Structure 1
Amino acid sequence: MTEEVKAWWELTARWFQDDIDLDVGVNWTGMGVDDDLRLLLDVAGEDVLELGCGGGQCSVALAERGATVTGLDLSEEQLSFARELADEHDADADFVQGDVTDLGMFPDSTFDVAFNAYVFQWVDDLAACFRETHRVLREGGRFVFSMPHPVYGLADPESHEVAESYFDTGRQVTPQEDTELDMVTYRHSVADVHNALVGAGFRVERMLEPGSDDPDDYEEGPWGEHRPELLAKLPSTLIFEARAA
């Protein structure tokens, strides 16, 4: 992950956490806690790594389920919030600062499960991240993550027509009116993600695209960023389940 991504989160973390006000739990779709997907199954007694833990809501939830959890994040501001949240819930979770593309602070074969939710749009080098994740997982370890579906962001939110190219991957800059920094993210195709997983030594077990064709099943979100009519037409979330071979 890049210095500009880190700078963005150091600047906006507190505002983001206050506004989004996420409950403790696993937020796979970016629209609130949705543990009903049951992707991580029973983690009691397992060593779990959250890659890009943000405010720690997911890490705290898994610690409360009996996992030994380590949350990693690039931003010290996010980690500060996560530690406060863990203290509030009396949850035993460790939080460390670091880049998901370089997990050198962890020995080989340290974890049983690695996961994250809505993080990889911030990561430019997925191949490096996946190689490192494979290295720190034990043989047969599970890697589960969700990310923005690359097709959803291509549609104009008003007309629903395709407004951008699916093949325009890589660095994306979104101008911000209210901050001194623009937001930088990275667009990855489905093939990019799948092939990076396979190249790192993972066996992909499932891909999921959760959603509904009923606009009434969606809310607009804390900033009005979710468009129910568009969400009922296109998947907004892509989920991978993989296992370290």
Structure 2
Amino acid sequence: MKNDSSTECWNKVGIEWYLYAQTNDFRMDFIMPFTLKQLGDVSGKMILDIGCGEGGYSRELAKKGAIVTAVDCTEVAINYSKLKAEEEQLNISHYVRNSNDLQGIPDNTFDIVLSSMMLMDCEDLNGTVKEISRVLKLGGKLLVSILHPCFNGKDIHWSGGNIVPQVVINNYFSPTEWEAPIAKSINSIVIWRHRTLQEYIKTFVKNHLNIIDLNEPIPDDQQISESPRLGFLSKIPMFLFFELEKIV
């Protein structure tokens, strides 16, 4: 596997992160339901879950009848994903790979590639998108979710309590990276990256991926009642979803 700053920092993250991810309300009650709804009927579809983490999406897609390949740069994540798939008797192929080098996966293999909340973590954005495009079939779809570059990153200031946080953008046009804990309750340090929207879009276009949909989803009343802090997302979009199609 090719190593870079992304793989090095994420390989220092322990199992506690992958357990936490399965209890996080933003992921479980908002991002994942929206993602699965956008993917629709996946029965019989060849799907790559790139940056699969603990494999939650891979398992849900396999249960829905998809033929799933799960890739992550960390052995901890892949080993956990394999274990959970075996426990649930799900047939999922697993690879430990840097997302910019999907060695062993042939060209034009997948109907769908899912990249959930991982592109902003890649050191090599163009290399990753190039590899995604390579393994997608012509006309295949890529569903991407990222932290919204206009409203998220190191310049969100939480006021505490039940007060709605303020979002302060100091320099949107200055792509940068910094080190910080992966979550307030987890001490593992990872590299966070800010990129502009135009960098993402130009990278997609360069690699023959055409944007066919874009969403800044808003939580519904039921989601907010189950997790009140999701109400913030009805005012400020923390997450941005692209749907793309391979055209060449």
Task: Give me the TM-score of the superposition, normalised by structure 2.
Answer: 0.83
Q: 1:219 aligns with which of 216, 223, 227?
A: 227
Pairwise CA RMSD: 2.8
What is the identity percentage for the equivalent residue pairs of Structure 1 and Structure 2?
A: 24
Residue by residue over 1:134-166, the C-alpha shift from the partner in whole angstroms, topping out at 9 and shown as x without a partner, is 111111001111111112224322261415321
Correspondence 1:83-98 to 2 at 5 A: 83-98=82-97
Contact 1:211–1:232 under 8 Å retained in 2: yes
Q: 2:196 aligns with which of 186, 189, 192?
A: 189
Point out where structure 2 has 5 or more consecutive residues left out of the alignment: 160-164
Contact 1:160–1:230 under 8 Å retained in 2: no
Cα separation, 1, equivalents of 2:64 and 2:225: 28
Cα 1:232–1:40 shift into 2, 3 Å: closer
The alignment partner of 2:11 has SS state of helix
Residue 124 (structure 1) aligned with residue 126 (structure 2): no
TM superposition shift of 1:122: 1.1
Residue 236 of structure 1 corresponds to 238
Residue by residue over 1:7-28, the C-alpha shift from the partner in whole angstroms, topping out at 9 and shown as x without a partner, is 43333231112223359xxx9x
Residue 146 of structure 2 corresponds to 147
Cα separation, 1, equivalents of 2:140 and 2:18: 31
**Aligned pairs, how many?**
235
Cα separation, 1, equivalents of 2:244 and 2:74: 26
Contact 1:103–1:132 under 8 Å retained in 2: yes
Contact 2:213–2:244 under 8 Å retained in 1: yes
Cα separation, 2, equivalents of 1:120 and 1:36: 15
Contact 2:219–2:231 under 8 Å retained in 1: no
Residue 50 of structure 1 corresponds to 49
TM superposition shift of 1:183: 1.8
Which amino acid is the alignment partner of residue 52 of structure 2? Answer: C
- Greater share of strand: 2
The alignment partner of 1:241 has SS state of strand
Cα separation, 1, equivalents of 2:230 and 2:62: 33
Cα separation, 2, equivalents of 1:59 and 1:216: 26
TM superposition shift of 1:217: 5.3
Residue 18 of structure 1 corresponds to 19
The alignment partner of 1:152 has SS state of coil
TM superposition shift of 1:187: 1.4
Which amino acid is the alignment partner of residue 12 of structure 1? Answer: V
Residue 171 of structure 2 corresponds to 165
Residue by residue over 1:85-107, the C-alpha shift from the partner in whole angstroms, topping out at 9 and shown as x without a partner, is 10121111011100111123212
Residue 59 of structure 2 corresponds to 60
Task: Give me the TM-score of the superposition, normalised by structure 1.
Answer: 0.84
Contact 1:150–1:188 under 8 Å retained in 2: yes
